[in-house]
Structure 1
Amino acid sequence: MSDTAVYASKPEHSLGRINGAGPSATRSEFQRDRDRIIHSTAFRRLQHKTQVFFQHDGNHFRNRLTHTLEVSQMARSMARALHLNEDLAEAIALAHDLGHTPFGHAGERALHAMMAPFGGFDHNIQAMRVVTRLENRYAEHDGLNLTWETLEGILKHNGPLTNPDGTPCGAHAQAGLPAGLDTIAACADLRLSSFASLEAQTAAIADDIAYNAHDIDDALRAGLITLTDLLEVPLAGPIVREVLDLYPAVAPKRQAHEVQRRLITRSIEDVITTTAGNIEAAGVTSVEQVRVAGRTLVAFSPGVAEAVRGLKAFLFARVYRHESVMVSVRQSEQLVTALFARYMDTRDLPGRWAAVAQAAASDSELARTIADFIAGMTDPYALVEYARLFDARPEFG
């Protein structure tokens, strides 16, 4: 992309891949990464993994794939406006959820609890395992053989993992670094204490914007909230009031869409304006200076950031913890827990995984193999496996 800014990532200056790959006559290195991610098995599986509302609840609710596509579209739009590398931002956005378990965050919590004696489970680390080890379709190597910049973005899009002295920071300050990080060869030189590129930061904030807007939309569809419930909610409230004033006679479904699209637009415009100011204030003139800037540069303005926190608190209380959601959450946690325990007891994994489980030399190695297998499941396949192992099929809801 010839019109990218000096602080954007440049594919021609990529630090390369673990396994050498000849040049492409038609695609940049970051375009190749994007294409490899889209064609991966793990990416296709996202279609049948829960976002918030379980798949049996209705075909119009978002799943992990539709969420990922929405994030990638927003990331690309913001990258274009900020003169960043759109292809890298898109690749990172497309890969950011590849490590998620079936049944959304409920499945992740259950798997993390079962893996606690073995270091726990982290979906970002699992995404790295997917793209560096578990995808096994290439003749010459395991994984997708992505560039250093894309791997950095997948691992660090939410910020550094350590302080310069190597101590864990941010979300990892209390619990320590996620288990398994040291077993992924690609992580060895990803500079855990530096910030990721602006493209990775853009993918991260696109994820936040997508969650905010689309979880409201799905909650309205599910009947868990109404537009009037949002009138006093930060960020969303003024937009709802504006839409109701402008279109009082329009069908609620159309009003809801107006709210969603205005929320997305204003959030993105706030990020673009704020980030441009942050970049100018920081004086960065290269991607390396971005990495050592000492803070995230792609951000909401302080006022919008505070409003986003208020909106998230509302969604947590009124949507994510709504009893109609929690019934399925509890059932899915029990299902994942039961699968893990049975596999640990019997090593009875299907297909090619059976040999891997039987060859595990320790409980820790077996547990990580089981975590890899369960994390890769779709919601329907997890139900099939439960029926195979327990001769029963749980009824959700």
Structure 2
Amino acid sequence: MHTSAAAVFPDPYGSVPLAGCVVAITADRRREELTTLLERRGARVVSAPTLRIQQFEDETPLFAATQACLSGPLDYVVATTGIGWRGWMSAAQGWGLEDALRTSCMLASVLTRGPKATGAVRATGLSESYASPSEESREILNWLTARQLRGTRIAVQRHASYDAVFIEALREHGAEVIDVPVYRWGPSPDPAAVDRLVHAIARREVHAVAFTSAPGASALFEAADALGEGARVRAAFTQPVLAACVGELCARPFLAERLPALWPQRGRLGSLVRILTDELPGRLRQTIPTALGDLVLQGNAVGIGGNVVILPAQPAAVLHELARSPGRVVARTDLLRRVWGRRGADHIVEVTVARLRAALGEHGGLVVTVPKRGYRIAAESGH
């Protein structure tokens, strides 16, 4: 029986489980918080907000809607988003109407769409009569339409998009609906970053993309289509790029196109980061036994001797190609085709292998040159 004399080291990724993982985030709001959570776990974050939340420059419609809410008793008030509810209360405070609006809402039945809206309502000293478990307007609609709505007055704090189906359904049941517009979706604050992300996904240069809204996901597909990269981006999401969404509603654009996506049970940033932390290492990690100990590849990182080394993109790609068949020789021409997608002079391969060896430091000798043939990893006997 073969026994190995290789050194045994603890998992080098223990404190940085996402080291070597490139994760793109498409959110504008709270992107600093999401970036920090991911970077603490070792990920390299690419930020490319596909949309941004914009307040309406003209507050006249919001002021008119607020006045309409105060013109008579309200029966129901629907809070659809945390940020929208806080924005409405803040605007009312600026107009000197905060106390009157809070009193009007207190006398009505307040309905909240999802945990974020529930938290915002409670923070203003109100309590909800019904909180939908998810951010689905349909759940609120089902709750309301199970009751007699004819002659009732319902204020709906609008989320970023006008929910015509929801509002018209309430009106069809005889309710007077006051649409309260607080904010809307605007274009990306950095369209060039979105274009770069589209190309990076198409080339499989990111390992995961995190989404916090369905419109943000749809905007990415629209940008990809506009660049002529739609088919390649969709293929990349099929495999190997992971689409991680904050909730099922956020994943709707992927489900509509029958593309895979993952989401946590609880729609929180922390839960979104957790699902990335749980999923990516299992997808990316590869362990190669060598005479010097295990070589543990993960994305653009390699763990060796108990340490983690972050590699530049091309040296990492070369190492992954060699790791496909540990111990076997990979020709320079094959590396050129697989890593750079072209044929040409061998010098670019030689330069990249030299960079790889330099990054591996004292373990650089694990990448072996086979004269006139190519390169291989010095895997342990039997691999």
Q: Same fold (TM over 0.5)?
A: no
Q: In proportion to residue count, which structure has more helix?
A: 1
Per chain length, whose mean CA-contact separation is higher, i.e. which structure has more relative contact order (CA < 8 Å, sep 6+)?
Answer: 1
Higher Rg of the two aligned structures = 2
Higher strand share: 2
